Amino acid sequence: MTEDLCRELAALLKEKGWMLATAESCTGGLIAAACTELSGSSDWFERGFVTYSNAAKIEELGVDANLIERHGAVSEVVARAMAFGAVRHSRALASIAVTGIAGPTGGTADKPVGTVWFAWMVQGELTSETMRFEGDRAAVRAAAVGHALQRAIELIGAA
């Protein structure tokens, strides 16, 4: 399924002549890895940022430290800043950003395990949403990858 999503995403990006960048926290580069599994991905995949720590989000993507302090790394505002930063610090016209709590530890009452914030930047427009996935760490991460790719296809296809 992930391979099919990547093929569909690749076709859209190549048709538009766009490059994609990813900014990943809880998925740890799984989206970038899925994309680059495809031969010829250098035609449409520009780069991936694995910004697992807060410092990496700040240093690599330009996320404002105050946003992380006020809202937490797992938040809409940080996901949006990550998506923006991925485009700003690359040659891509589209980006996918993911930050969440894959578990089994790290969850709180406000942000339980399985909470994932997503953001996509497509031609300068930011879109974001949150999802809550069930299952163990691997299941949460796999679901996040699938969701991120599916919504990217929808958003890029509509652009």
Q: Give 59-86 pLDDT, tens digit per residue.
A: 999 999 999 999 999 999 999 999 999 9
Q: Using an 8 Å Cβ cutoff, are 135 and 114 in contact?
A: yes
The whole-angstrom separation of Cα 134 and Cα 37 is 26
**Structure pTM?**
0.97
Domains (range + CATH), the chain: 2-158 (3.90.950.20)
Helices 54-61 and 76-88 meet at what angle, rounded to 10?
40
The per-residue pLDDT for range 101-122, each reduced to its tens digit, is 999 999 999 999 999 999 999 9
- Predicted confidence band of residue 41 (pLDDT cuts 50, 70, 90): very high
* Cβ partners under 8 Å of residue 118, min gap 6: 79, 96, 97, 98, 128, 129, 130, 131, 144, 147, 148, 151
Instruction: Give which of 6, 20, 5 is closest to 95, Cα–Cα.
Output: 20
State the maximum Cα–Cα separation within the chain, in Å, rounded to a whole number: 44
Average pLDDT, the chain: 97
